[in-house]
């Protein structure tokens, strides 16, 4: 146990033993530093962790307080975590999920809807003014020939910055392996088409990001859903059975803060996964778009860190952590780099040159890590508020994950509550949710919701969550009690 974990444990014991009561102010960061002889960042890490657990809350400009719940009770009233892995049908099957997903997504895309169902965090979380300055400088100095020279693989300076960031995280990724794309979504799609042909099978998690299901469907592939635990990710024994039985051509998953579960694989498990796939020579399409949004002390490794044969295609982007709307993502594609670049060349050619140059300049001039620290703090804060409110407004039998990063919660409602009904009724009240069935080939997870806490946690959000709780309660009540 390191310093910040020890500090967090001590504080949480004080709260559980009643030494610190609901609403009590915690010692200031400065005091705690002095008392325990630790650095401010250690104290912040401990506080973030406690916030993420719903035990404490920060109030703008006034410090940290022990969480207060609606019933006056403390953290013991927070909803429990879900703790069982999914049990999908493990057969390989072509998909017919896309239409269902579109219906849900298209109905939710309005600015005046409370965006609990949104896939995007609030655009107000990002340093848009500083990005605009970078765009202004870089567009002025843009080499006219950049549009011809950089072409498919992307801006050389940006790719160098990306390689540097990998290096800082301990990964050696050659610049030549990096291809800049129109967001991570294009990277993922290019990887999939680079390593599969129609009819091939692909391993995925259950539940999994709906865009992976849609890509698999569009490309005429078969999906094999593997049991997945809401905290620990894919079940590797089940994955091995599926590899043996179906001989898939790719595995597509999210190792960190998985969408929708929020699960994160341990380093050990990531290494085992890569070893397993290497044994079967199956490429891994690793979606790691939330990896920078961790609440703990350090960035969780990507599976790519354990890749010795270039089998892992690590996809990420700036859309969720820096520059939404710029549509700049990338893939470190290992041995598939040439194939991926060729698919890009014939489908979208290259990525917007001014946007790439602006991001290169932003990374070169520093400040990204400072922005990320603030962003993580903010998201951890919002998660704590959200979970605490879920405890107050949702009925008993509700379970909620405690992701250690990202901006999604996975909520298991009492079994009789149909998430698609919740979606429909909530939308009539101007609230969107992402119902479980859009994350599964066979429309499983019928009583689950993915909720987005990446938007301002304010009175409107609180009221919307109260309304949502009412809706769920009414659907959960036995007939005659509604």
- Binding-site string for a second copy from residue 278 to residue 317, where x marks contact by CB under 8 A and - marks none: ----------------------------------------
For residues 343 and 450, which CB has a smaller minimum distance to a second copy in the complex?
Answer: 343
List, in order, residues 6 or more apart from 313 with CB less than 8 Å away: 187, 191, 283, 284, 285, 286, 331, 332, 333, 334, 336, 340
Is residue 136 a contact point for a second copy (CB under 8 A)?
A: yes
List, in order, residues 6 or more apart from 86 with CB less than 8 Å away: 206, 207, 225, 227, 228, 229, 444, 445
Site for a second copy in 208-237 (CB under 8 A): 211, 214-215, 218, 220
Among the listed ranges 11-19, 163-171, 287-295, 346-354, the one in contact with a second copy (CB under 8 A) is: 346-354
Is residue 349 a contact point for a second copy (CB under 8 A)?
A: yes
Query: Using an 8 Å Cβ cutoff, are 445 and 86 in contact?
Result: yes
The gap between the terminal CA atoms of the chain, to the nearest Å, is: 48
Q: How many residues interact with a second copy (rule CB under 8 A)?
A: 57
Distance CA 369, CA 388 (A): 29
Is residue 350 a contact point for a second copy (CB under 8 A)?
A: yes
Q: How far is the CB of 96 from a second copy (least distance, A)?
A: 14
Among the listed ranges 6-14, 207-215, 435-443, 470-478, the one in contact with a second copy (CB under 8 A) is: 207-215
Which of 136, 79, 110, 104 lies closest to 436, judged by CA?
Answer: 104
Distance CA 414, CA 109 (A): 27
Candidate list 42, 58, 161, 182; residue touching a second copy; CB under 8 A: 182
Q: How far is the CB of 380 from a second copy (least distance, A)?
A: 22
In 3-state terms, what secondary structure has residue 33? helix
Handedness of CA 113, 118, 123, 126 (dihedral sign): positive
Is residue 198 a contact point for a second copy (CB under 8 A)?
A: yes
Is residue 151 a contact point for a second copy (CB under 8 A)?
A: yes
Q: Using alpha carbons only, how large is the chain's radius of gyration in Å?
A: 22
Query: Using an 8 Å Cβ cutoff, are 179 and 344 in contact?
Result: yes
Is residue 458 a contact point for a second copy (CB under 8 A)?
A: no
Is residue 183 a contact point for a second copy (CB under 8 A)?
A: yes
**What's the maximum distance between 2 C-alpha atoms anywhere in the chain?**
72
Is residue 98 a contact point for a second copy (CB under 8 A)?
A: yes
Q: Which residues bind a second copy (CB under 8 A)?
A: 98, 102, 105, 109, 111, 118, 120, 123-124, 126, 128, 131-132, 135-136, 139-140, 142, 144-149, 151, 182-183, 185-186, 189, 193, 197-198, 211, 214-215, 218, 220, 324-328, 342-343, 345-355, 358
């Amino acid at each position: 146990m390191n310093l910040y974990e020890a500090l967090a444990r001590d504080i949480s014991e004080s709260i559980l033993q009643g030494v610190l009561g609901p609403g009590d102010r915690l010692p200031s960061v400065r005091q705690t530093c002095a008392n325990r002889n630790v650095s401010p960042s250690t104290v912040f890490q401990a506080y973030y962790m406690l916030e993420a657990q719903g035990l404490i809350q920060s109030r703008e400009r006034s410090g940290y307080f022990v969480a207060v719940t609606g019933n006056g009770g403390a953290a013991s009233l927070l909803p429990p975590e879900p703790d069982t892995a999914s049990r999908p049908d493990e057969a390989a099957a072509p998909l017919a999920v896309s239409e269902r997903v579109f219906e849900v997504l298209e109905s939710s895309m309005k600015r005046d809807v409370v965006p609990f169902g949104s896939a995007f965090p609030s655009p107000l979380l990002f340093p848009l003014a500083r990005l605009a300055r970078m765009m202004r400088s870089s567009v002025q100095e843009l080499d006219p020939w950049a549009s011809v020279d950089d072409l498919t693989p992307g801006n050389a300076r940006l790719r160098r910055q990306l390689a540097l960031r990998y290096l800082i995280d301990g990964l050696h990724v050659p610049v030549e392996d990096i291809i800049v794309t129109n967001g991570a979504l294009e990277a993922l799609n290019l990887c999939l088409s680079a390593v599969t042909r129609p009819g091939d099978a692909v391993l995925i998690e259950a539940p999994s990001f709906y865009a992976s299901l849609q890509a698999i469907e569009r490309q005429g592939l078969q999906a094999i859903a593997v049991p997945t635990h809401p905290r620990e990710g894919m079940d590797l024994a089940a994955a091995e059975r599926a590899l043996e039985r179906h001989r898939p051509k790719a595995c597509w998953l999210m190792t960190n803060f998985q969408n929708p579960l929020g699960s994160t694989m341990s380093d050990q498990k990531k290494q085992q996964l890569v070893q397993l796939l290497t044994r079967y020579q199956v490429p891994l399409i690793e979606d790691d778009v939330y990896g920078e949004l961790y609440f703990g002390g350090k960035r969780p490794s990507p599976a790519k860190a354990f890749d010795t044969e270039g089998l892992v295609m690590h996809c990420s982007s700036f859309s969720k952590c820096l520059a939404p709307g710029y549509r700049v993502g990338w893939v470190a594609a290992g041995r598939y780099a040439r194939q991926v670049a060729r698919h890009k060349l014939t489908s979208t050619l290259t990525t917007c040159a001014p946007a790439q140059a602006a991001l290169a300049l932003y990374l070169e001039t520093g400040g990204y890590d400072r922005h990320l620290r603030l962003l993580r703090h903010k998201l951890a804060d919002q998660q704590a508020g959200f979970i605490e409110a879920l405890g107050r407004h949702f009925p008993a039998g509700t379970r909620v994950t405690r992701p250690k990063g990202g901006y999604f919660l996975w909520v298991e409602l009492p079994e009789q509550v149909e998430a698609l009904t919740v979606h429909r009724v909530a939308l009539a009240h101007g609230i969107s949710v992402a119902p479980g069935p859009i994350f599964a080939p066979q429309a499983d997870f019928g009583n689950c919701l993915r909720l987005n806490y990446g938007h301002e946690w304010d009175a409107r959000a609180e009221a919307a969550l109260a309304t949502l709780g009412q809706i769920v309660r009414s659907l959960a009540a036995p007939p005659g009690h509604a």
